[in-house]
Amino acid sequence: MSEPMSGRMRVVIAEDHYLVREGTRRLLEDTGEVVVVAAVGTADELLDAVHRFRPDAVIADIRMPPDHHTEGITAAHAIRAAHPGIGVVVLSQHANEQYAFALFQHGTDGLAYLLKERIGELEELLRALREVAAGRSVIDPRIVEVLVGSLTRTTDAPLSQLTRRELDVLRHMAQGKNNRSIAESLSLSESTIEKHVNSTFAKLGLAEETQLHRRVTAVLTYLRYGPEPAP
Amino acid sequence: MRVLAVSGGLGLLYAVALGAGLAASRTLPWALGAVLPCYLAGLSLCWKAPGHPVARRLLAVGSWAALGLVVRFTVAFLGSAAGWVPGPAVSWPLLLLARMVDVVAAVMVARLLALLPDGREHHPYERVALRSLWLLLAAPLVVMLVPMPLWLRLRLLVQPEAWMPAVGAGLLVVRSVLDTRRSGARNAGRWRTVAAAAFALFAGRGSMRLFRMWQGDDGPAYFIGCALGALPYVVVSAGLVYGAFRHRLPGLDFTARRSTVYGLLWTIIGGWYLGMVTALGLTASQYLPISAAVLVAVSVTMLCQPLRRQANRLAARHVFGVRPSNFELLVQFGTTLEHAYDLTLLAPQLAVSLQEWLDLRWVRVELGTSGPGRLPSADGTAGVPPDGAGSSRTRVGLCYGDDALGFIEYGPKDEGRFTPEDRDLVETLARQAALAVHNARLNAELSIRIEEVQRQASELNASRTRLVQAQDTERRRIERQLHDGIQQELVALVAKLRLARNQLCRNGDTVYTTLTELQDDACRVIDGLRELAHGIHPPVLTDQGLAAAVMSRARRLPIPVTVEIEPSVRPARFTPDIEEAAFFLVSEAFTNVLKHARAGRVTVRIGRAGGSLLLDVSDDGVGLCPTTGPGSGLTGMRDRIEAVGGELSIISRPGDGTTLRARITETRRETTDV
């Protein structure tokens, strides 16, 4: 079934709870920006629908039958592997960064991790669908909030390879700054900052990805493993 | 001394040979019943302890008495051979000689008795008294020289030696009394009793002689006289032999085989018995025809046989003690073993028994000493083991299977050699003792285990009760949160929805704001539900395992947390009960740190070693109060950890933080690729 209207995003919804599934479908179609080409209840049905309809993006519940664990994440990885052009928004009831890490473990491109209640923030949801469809990445502000607020550090961090200056740069990056404002904050030249950023990417093994996604991944790594131990 | 012994022996042989020839000799009973025992006892004592005064005196008495026999028998033989009846002129000197010899023998007996047990003079009066006895030698001369009637002269001549044993025993009584007073010796009381008994006996004997002189020397009086006359010699000989052997007379330190001693006593008793029977025969022949007399003698001999046997048995029992057979020993020891729960009693008992049964100089028994410390052990010693390693000793190990459970060590026998039977006995006892030690060990181990199991059981009971209580408390908390929190909020949502409807009907302007509020409220309810669900069970623990759950929990702590998780732990999944217990521990520890510790920093370490999961949560807070002990929170943690077979230790000092350290034996699930 193909949709002739090229301006509207074609989306598949996977959600096992009927009311939530239909509510989301109604909400999205109500905007006029989205065509829900399929709404299914399990991960297997989702993969099948993706295969058949080749949507622009997918909204997947993280917990689905049969086991109600992280079938949504597994399905997202499968979809990204089989169809790199299809973005996946994983809706989760877990305000827990560990699930986001699990989702992003093979890369952040075309993946979003949003809390389920974000369907109430319709604009946020639409934005996330657009971002993943474009191959970019979104992470729920609540998760970032937890990571930024965390005082935890671990001793096996990959960050231990970074120099103090590179960590400084990364810390500013995690606050959402671009290279120019980081340069201003640290009183360094923008080219110096760019050099630090590139060496950080190299040390974190992010050389192969696009600039923007390397940035997101680096920040996630930073947030995940925590700041440098206090002296 | 040798001369004395040889001449005594020759004299005795001569006398017995001659006496047997003289059919009607009335002196033969005396020779067999008194002189022979005395001589033999003296000879054997002298042989074993050549220098001892008592031994010398006894041999001297025996030899001298034998000499006396020679004199008498020679006189009698010459008399009968020549066929003449000696007139006074010839018989006087001979009679005098015989009397003199008898007196000397009697004085020697008195001196022997008076100086017992060591044969030395203790008091000045003894020397005077004993020397003055020799004056009696002059008595026959005095009797000869002083004119008096013939009958009185005869009576006086035969008297002195009859009283001498009594005089000796009397002196001994006096001496023992004085000795006791002076030194308070322990055995003095017994000596005094023996001495007094001897005195009574010998005084009776002296009196009997008087009676014989008065009544005449024939008939029953003759027999009684023979019996009593020989009595001091037999009693003294047997007493000395037995005493020397059994009680170790002072200075008479010799070892003799028990069989030798017994043989000697047997000979003495036998000689005396033979003498008495002969005397009886002689007595009977005075009244009856020879054939009848022989008949009487034989039948009395037969009848008196049990008496002799009894005497021999008495001697045997006193010499050998009650010596049970090896079989009896084993049975006895087996009975002892039945009650051998206490090795401290068994060890000395075994040592003493072995020493007594086998006549060993010393025995040392060590039971269970070669094992580990907590198990029972004991040692016992009988006799005094020599210090030097060079002295002869034998060691028999106690083995049960491959376990060495101690040993029995012993020195040489008091006398005689160690026979194969003795060795078998020791080895059998060693096996039984090993069994006893083994049993005692099993017993001890069992009671340790039982204590442990009982302790664990009661701890388990308490822990189970606490876990159930904790579960109930948790259920009540969830119920409260559902009813008082989320349900109330939903009710409020319903009320606000109703308000929105009203607003929509009246005026659509304000409804947008209300609906926005409603959405926010609903989001809050979702948050509340999420927290509640997380509190019941963190889904990340199920979905991603312990490391992820601990990290996630740590990130939400308002104080700095350092998490050190070994790389091998990160992807590992353990069984749900272990993961839950471990996460509960960390989570509760965090809660405690925040509530009580006033800590600036927490460190969590999770590692694995030797098939165990190791958890370590430490803070730099104020530490636990040492007086109050662990609170219910810590008890709950311990219960949870112990419920999965782990153990929890709490290390805390006031002002120096708290460290919780748990070790849980792993049961791994699968490995996830997170």
Q: Which two tokens stand for residue A206?
A: 């992010």
The amino acid present at A96, given as its one-letter code, is N
| Preferred mutation among A98, A114, A224 to probe B, highest tally of B CBs within 10 A | A98
* Residue pair B241/B40 in contact by the 8 Å Cβ criterion: no
Residue A3 lies inside a defined structural domain of this protein:
no
| Helix (H/G/I), strand (E/B), else coil: A37 | strand
CB contact under 8 Å between A102 and B544, yes or no, is: yes
For residues B376 and B448, the answer to whether their CB atoms sit within 8 Å is: no
- On the question of pLDDT at A3 being above 60, the answer is no
B105 within some domain: yes
A4 occurs within a structural domain: no
Q: Cα separation of B280 and B657, whole Å?
A: 109
Tens-digit pLDDT profile for residues B232-247: 777 777 777 777 766 5
Residue with token string 């305000």:
A95
pLDDT for res A35: 95
Among B71-75, B114-118, B214-218, B509-513, which stretch is predicted with the lowest mean pLDDT? B214-218
CA–CA min distance B480, chain A (Å) = 22
Interface test with A, best of B551, B559, B593 (most A CBs within 10 A): B551
Q: Are residues B339 and B419 in the same domain?
A: yes
Q: How confident is the model at residue B81 (pLDDT cuts 50, 70, 90)?
A: low
- Asked if the model's pLDDT at residue A49 lies above 90, the reply is yes
Q: Are residues A13 and A125 in the same domain?
A: yes
Least CB–CB distance from A117: residue in B526, B539, B554: B526
- Shortest distance, CA A146 to any CA of chain B (angstroms): 7
Q: What distance in Å separates residue B512's CA from the closest CA in chain A?
A: 14
Chain A environment of B554 (Cβ under 8 Å): 150, 152
Tokens of residue B656, six digits: 């120096």
What pLDDT is attached to residue B109?
A: 80
Domain range enclosing A202? 150-225
The whole-number pLDDT of residue B300 equals 73
Of the candidates B371, B376, B386, B384, the one whose C-alpha atom is nearest the C-alpha of residue B345 is: B376
Residue A230 lies inside a defined structural domain of this protein:
no
Chain-chain contact of B523 with A102 (C-beta, under 8 angstroms): no
Note the pLDDT of residue B661: 94
* Residues in chain A closer than 8 A to B557 (CB atoms): 151-152
Residue B518 lies in a domain: yes
Please tell me the predicted confidence (pLDDT) of residue B613. 93
pLDDT, tens digit, 9 for 90 and up, residues B438-453: 888 888 889 899 999 9
- Pick from A90, A154, A225, A228 the residue to mutate for testing the B interface (most B CBs within 10 Å): A154
Tell me the C-alpha distance between B122 and B134, whole Å.
19
Residue B663 lies in a domain: yes
> What does DSSP assign to residue A135?
T
Domain boundary among B402, B433, B449: B449
Instruction: Indicate whether A26 pLDDT > 70.
Output: yes
- CA of A91 vs chain B CAs: smallest distance (Å): 14
Range of the domain at B518: 455-535
Say yes or no for a CB contact (<8 Å) between B526 and A94: no
Asked whether residue A123 is assigned to any structural domain, the reply reads yes
* A213 in the same domain as A108: no
Mean pLDDT of B539-564: 90
Of the partner residues A69, A98, A153, the one whose CB lies closest to the CB of residue B552? A98
CB nearest to A94's CB, from B540, B559, B562: B540
Out of A110, A142, A174, a domain closes at A142
Quote the CA–CA distance of B266 and B268 in Å, as a whole number.
5
Residue A178 is predicted with a pLDDT of 82
- Is the bond preceding residue B412 a cis peptide, omega within 30 degrees? no
Residues A34, A119, single domain; the answer is yes
Q: Domain with A85 in it: what CATH number?
A: 3.40.50.2300
Q: How many domains does chain B contain in total?
A: 4
A217 and A114 within one domain: no
Are residues A35 and A125 both part of a single domain?
yes
Asked if B39 and B62 count as a contact pair (C-beta separation under 8 A), the reply is yes
> Does residue A219 fall inside a structural domain?
yes
- Distance of residue B464 Cα from the nearest chain A Cα, in angstroms: 31
Q: Which residues of B touch A120 (CB under 8 A)?
A: 519, 522-523
Domain co-membership, A95 together with A206 = no
**Residue B595, domain member (yes or no):** yes
Please indicate, yes or no, if residue B335 is contained in any of the structural domains. Answer: yes
Is A126 found in the same domain as A18?
yes
Instruction: For helices B88-114 and B220-246, give the axis angle rounded to 10 degrees.
Output: 30
Q: For residue A154, which residues of chain B lie inside 8 Å, CB to CB? A: 551, 562-565
CATH code of B421's domain: 3.30.450.40
* B593 and B622 Cβ atoms separated by less than 8 Å: no
Q: State residue B316's pLDDT score.
A: 66
pLDDT of residue B118: 72
Quote the minimal CA–CA distance from A72 to chain B in Å.
12
Phi/psi region, residue B665 (left: phi>0; alpha: psi -120 to 50; beta: rest), is: beta
Same domain membership, residue A81 and residue A32: yes
Contacting B residues, span 523-542, partner chain A, CB-CB under 8 Å: 523, 526-527, 530, 539-540, 542
* Strand segments (E) across chain A: 9-14, 34-40, 57-61, 87-92, 111-115, 138-139, 152-154
Residue A136 shares a structural domain with residue A159: no
Residue B472 shares a structural domain with residue B555:
no
- Tell me which DSSP letter residue A89 carries: E
With 70 as the cut, is the pLDDT of residue A229 above it? no
Residues of A in contact with B544 (CB under 8 A): 98-99, 102
Least confident segment among A98-107, A141-150, B550-559:
A141-150
* Eight-class DSSP state of A99: H
Please report whether residue B653 resides in a domain: yes
**Angle B576-592/B546-555 helices, nearest 10 degrees?**
20
- What pLDDT is recorded for position A30? 92
Q: What is the pLDDT of residue B92?
A: 64
A2 part of a folded domain = no
Provide the pairing of β-strand B561-565 with A152-154: parallel
Nearest Cα residue in chain B from A121: B519
For the stretch B314-345, pLDDT in tens is 766 666 555 556 666 677 776 776 666 677 88
Measured between CA atoms, how close is B378 to chain A, in angstroms? 57
Is residue B253 included in any domain, yes or no? no
| A99 contacts in chain B (CB < 8 Å) | 540, 543-544
What per-residue string of b and e applies to B563-600 under the rule 16 or more CB within 10 Å gives b? Answer: bebbeebbebbbeeebbbbbbbbbbbbbebbbebbebe
Tokens for B222, please give them.
């003759």
pLDDT, residue B69, reads 77
Residue A80: the pLDDT is 94
Last residue of a domain, one of B215, B236, B269: B215
CB pairs under 8 A between A and B: 74
CA distance B75 to B91: 9
Domain boundary among B215, B234, B254: B215
> Of B540, B559, B562, which has the smallest distance from its Cβ to A98's Cβ?
B540
Does residue B628 share a domain with residue B561?
Answer: yes
Candidate from B552, B560, B674 with C-beta closest to A96: B552
- Residue A1 inside a domain? The answer is no
Please indicate, yes or no, if residue A186 is contained in any of the structural domains: yes
Q: What are the pLDDT digits (tens) for B364-417?
A: 888 876 656 667 778 888 888 777 666 678 888 888 888 788 888 888 877 667
Are B412 and B460 within one domain? no
Q: Count other Cβ atoms within 10 Å, centred on residue A15.
A: 26
Q: Which of these three, A116, A142, A168, is where a domain ends?
A: A142
pLDDT of residue B374: 64
Same domain, B156 and B178: yes
- Chain A residues whose C-beta sits inside 8 Å of any chain B C-beta: 69-70, 93-99, 101-102, 105, 116-117, 120, 146-147, 149-156, 229-230
- Residues in contact with B646: Cβ distance below 8 Å, sequence separation at least 6, in sequence order: B578, B581, B613, B662, B663, B664, B665
Query: Are A130 and A29 contained in the same domain?
Result: yes
Q: CB of B670 within 8 Å of any CB in chain A? A: no
Please report whether residue B275 resides in a domain.
no
Residues B441 and B463 in one domain: no
For residue B634, give the CATH number of its domain.
3.30.565.10
- Cα of A194 to nearest chain B Cα, Å: 30
CB contact under 8 A, A69 and B556: no
DSSP B123: S
- Give the residue, B576 or B2, on which the prediction is more confident: B576
pLDDT band at B50 (very low <50, low <70, confident <90, very high): confident
In B274-374 the beta strands, taken as DSSP E runs, fall at: 363-367
Contact B564 A98 (CB under 8 A): no
Q: Which run of H or E residues covers position B661?
A: strand B658-665
DSSP string spanning B509-569?
A: TTHHHHHHHHHHHHHHHHHHHHHHHHHH--HHHHHH-HHHHHHHHHHT-SS-EEEEE-TTT
Residue A156: what are its φ and ψ, rounded to 5°? -100, 25
Task: For residues B212 and B230, give the distance between their C-alpha atoms in angstroms, rounded to a whole number.
Answer: 15
- If asked whether residues A70 and A170 sit together in one domain, one would say no
CATH of the domain at A182: 1.10.10.10
How many structural domains is chain A composed of?
2
Q: What is the DSSP letter of B122?
A: -
Q: Do B554 and A96 touch (CB under 8 A)?
A: no
**Digit-coded pLDDT (tens) for B622-672:** 887 766 656 667 888 888 898 888 999 988 888 888 999 999 998 766 555
Average pLDDT score over chain B: 78
Task: Answer with the residue of higher pLDDT: A180 or B213.
Answer: A180
* Domain termination residue (choose one: A92, A108, A142): A142
Contact B563 A105 (CB under 8 A): no
CA distance A231 to chain B (A): 13
Lowest mean pLDDT among A97-101, B137-141, B336-340, B540-544: B336-340
Could you report the per-residue pLDDT of B147-167, keeping only the tens digit for each?
777 666 665 555 666 777 788
Residues A137 and A176 grouped into a single domain: no
Q: Do B560 and A152 lie within an 8 Å CB cutoff? A: yes
Tell me how far apart the alpha carbons of residues A129 and A11 are, in angstroms, rounded to a whole number. 9
Which residues in chain B have Cβ-Cβ distances shorter than 8 Å to A97?
552, 555
Q: How many helices (H) and strands (E) does chain A have?
A: 10, 7
pLDDT above 70 coverage of chain A, percent? 88
Task: Kindly provide the ipTM of the predicted complex, given to two decimals.
Answer: 0.78
Helix (H, G, I), strand (E, B) or coil at B106: helix
Q: List all residues of chain B from 547 to 566 with a beta carbon under 8 Å from chain A.
A: 548-549, 551-552, 554-565
Do residues B479 and B514 both lie within one domain? yes
Q: Do B552 and A97 touch (CB under 8 A)?
A: yes
